[in-house]
Copies of this chain bind each other. A is one copy, B any other.
């Protein structure tokens, strides 16, 4: 059948089962149920500290066919996923599903475990590097399930994604399982993505290189949820934990786009006291923040909150009083970690509080403006941030479709063409975020507003901004680059893109 973004979705997918097609961004809100949770309760004085990861796997009773989970706050510096899989392989356990909130190039060893059948399924919100390529080339036995940050929390809480054992990389952990991310040599700040795993997995193992006396302080994940604690030499490489992408672009095209995006925000009427804002860590996205910073200072505007994965740049705006507080699910750099540790108005949030559409209201619902990137955007405003121009997986939603749905104004900022390819296309290769949740596309060649946003089109009429239709942008792009040849795919489905509400918005096919 065709889903609500016009994608052909099979009724059943081998390795996934029956499929619920995407019906619209706000169709599956309302009465839901959070699932039951198994707990092995403890007697007083039972010890939680084990001597090795292997012992924890054995004590948790991990079996063939089960699901294990990881969080990605250590990003490309993470050692934990690889260490755990090595032990699982050596124990001869097979057919494991890895539910990692994100997978990075550092997780290359996973490719071997996929080939050996140790790992046969993957859930992730974002995948880049060798594992992504292996999946697109059809090496993984079951289709990968690509989720969003909020959607993953939803799936865990509703039982769609049942985790048998969660392994939590813990920058600091005490002997009874209280965890924080702000201290230790692998400090990463907020542990927001790990919280649903801890609360809903059958068994939870904290893996730490900074085992401290009871009780840890602060506590981001409570002893209530942790079965075992394992001390290792190193959970991660600090150089890989901190992202290298948190600098404002110096590219004049990027700056031009950012400036126009800021002007769109101003024209929208949202830039006033109480303003709330989120932007990614990309150079152009951060440049939007820089222009807003100037505007807010000039007009003495005091915002309410900034949210998301948090960068030092946003922290600077917060420290200048431009935002009253920060909601942080993940710290992107040392400055963000330091602020999260020291300033109580820089508050943590779980992935569920951040973006789960099925709780009583997540933080993205209160966002005024969200600045988003795009690998492709089509004339229905559908955005692809999942697959690259070669059709191979190179990312995923992360918080993309969560924030687009929640915010009052979602703006995609991108150059019109990249590497001789048009970014605005007729149909995106993969729909990550549905067009109905994207309000504006800002490119260096013009700004297109979603026709559904008549109110916004009206407001922008009174400005000098170059408003065009998205079809015009597509045409301009194609004039510059030509119409690229379509990537050829095999019929084999190697993955599904799950919308945040659990419906399937697109499928991923094997690259020829």
Residues of A within 8 A of B (CB): 26, 29-46, 48, 176-177, 204, 213-215, 217-219, 222-227, 274, 304-305, 324-325, 327, 344-345, 347, 349-350, 352-353, 356-366, 405-408
A324 — which chain B residues lie within 8 A by C-beta? 213
Which of B36, B353, B405 is in CB contact (< 8 Å) with A224?
B353
Q: Whole-angstrom distance between the alpha carbons of A500 and B268 in the complex?
A: 56
From B29, B176, B204, B304, contact of A42 by CB (8 A): B29
How far apart sit A41 and B363, CA to CA, in the bound complex (Å)?
13
Q: Are B176 and A366 in contact (CB under 8 A)?
A: yes
Q: Give A223's nearest chain B residue, CB to CB.
A: B361
> Contact between A44 and B224 (Cβ–Cβ < 8 Å)?
no
* 11 CB-based A-B contacts, threshold 8 Å: A31-B39, A33-B36, A44-B405, A48-B361, A177-B361, A214-B304, A214-B366, A215-B304, A222-B350, A224-B353, A225-B360
5 smallest beta-carbon distances between A and B, as pairs: A44-B365, A34-B37, A224-B359, A41-B358, A42-B361
Whole-angstrom distance between the Cβ of A257 and the nearest chain B Cβ: 26
The residues of B that contact A347 with a CB separation of less than 8 Å are: 215, 217-219
Instruction: Decide if A46 touches B361 in the complex (CB within 8 Å).
Output: yes
Q: Do B31 and A40 touch (CB < 8 A)?
A: yes
CA gap between A204 and B361 in the complex, in Å:
13
Contacts of A38 in B (CB 8 A): 31-34
Q: Contacts A215-B327, A325-B215 hold; do A33 and B39 have CB atoms under 8 A apart?
A: yes
Q: Which residue of B lies closest to A365 (CB)?
A: B44
Residues of chain B within 8 A of A364, CB atoms compared: 44
Alpha-carbon separation in the docked complex, A213 to B274 (Å):
9
User: Is B305 a contact partner of A215 (Cβ separation < 8 A)?
Assistant: yes
Distance of A226 Cα from B359 Cα, bound (Å): 9
Alpha-carbon distance A80/B461, docked complex (angstroms): 51
What's the least CB distance linking A223 to chain B, in Å?
Answer: 5
Q: Which residues of chain B have C-beta atoms less than 8 A from A40's C-beta?
A: 30-31, 360
Given known contacts A223-B361, A345-B217, A366-B176, is B406 in contact with A44 (CB within 8 Å)? yes
Residues on B with beta carbons closer than 8 Å to the beta carbon of A30:
40-41
- Apart from A31-B38, A215-B304, what 18 extra A-B contacts exist at CB < 8 Å? A33-B36, A39-B358, A41-B357, A41-B360, A43-B365, A44-B364, A44-B406, A213-B324, A214-B304, A217-B325, A219-B347, A222-B350, A223-B363, A224-B350, A225-B359, A225-B360, A226-B361, A227-B360
Q: How far is the CB of A365 from chain B (nearest CB, A)?
A: 4
Q: In whole angstroms, how far apart are the Cα atoms of A213 and B303 in the complex? A: 11
| Chain B residues whose C-beta falls within 8 Å of the C-beta of A274 in the assembled complex | 213
Chain B residues near A39: list those with CB within 8 A. Answer: 31-34, 358-360
User: Per a CB cutoff under 8 Å, which of B222, B325, B345 touches A353?
Assistant: B222
Evaluate whether A226 and B360 lie within 8 angstroms (CB atoms) in the complex, with A32-B41, A35-B36, A39-B34 already known.
Answer: yes
A238 to B77, CA, bound (A): 51
Give the residues in chain B near A214, CB-CB below 8 Å.
304-305, 366
Tell me whether B45 and A29 are in contact (CB under 8 A).
Answer: no
Asked if residues B224 and A42 are in contact (CB atoms below 8 Å), the reply is: no
A34 to chain B: closest CB distance in Å? 4
The complex places the Cα of A446 from the Cα of B218 at a distance, in Å, of 42
Contact A344 B218 (CB under 8 A): yes
A362 to B440, CA, bound (A): 50
Contact B325 A177 (CB under 8 A): no
**Chain B residue with minimal CB distance to A200?**
B34
Known A-B contacts A215-B305, A215-B325, A347-B218; A223 and B43 likewise in contact (beta carbons under 8 Å): no
A442 to B245, CA, bound (A): 64
Write the nearest CB–CB distance from A370 to chain B, whole angstroms.
11
CB A361 to nearest CB in B, in angstroms, measures 4
Give which listed residue, B29, B227, B305, contacts A41 with CB less than 8 A. Answer: B29
Q: Which of A227, A356, A362 has the most CB of B within 10 A?
A: A362
Nearest opposing residue in chain B for A501, CB measure: B41
CA gap between A464 and B223 in the complex, in Å: 40
Closest residue of chain B to A406 (Cβ to Cβ) is B44
Q: How far is the CA of A218 from the CA of B343 in the complex (A)?
A: 11
Is A45's CB under 8 angstroms from B353's CB? Answer: no
Q: Whole-angstrom distance between the alpha carbons of A42 and B356 in the complex?
A: 10
Q: Which residues of B contact A33 (CB under 8 A)?
A: 36-39
**Shortest distance in angstroms between A145's beta carbon and chain B's nearest beta carbon?**
21
Contact B227–A365 (Cβ < 8 Å): no
CA gap between A222 and B350 in the complex, in Å:
10
Contacting residues, chain B, for A352 (C-beta < 8 A): 224
Question: Judging by beta carbons under 8 Å apart, are B365 and A42 in contact?
Answer: yes
Q: Which single member of B36, B37, B213, B408 contacts A304 (CB below 8 Å)?
A: B213
**Nearest B residue (CB) for A218:** B344
How far, in whole Å, are A223 and B176 apart by their CA atoms in the complex? Answer: 28
Minimum distance in angstroms from A474 CB to a CB of chain B: 29
Q: Which residues of B contact A219 (CB under 8 A)?
A: 347
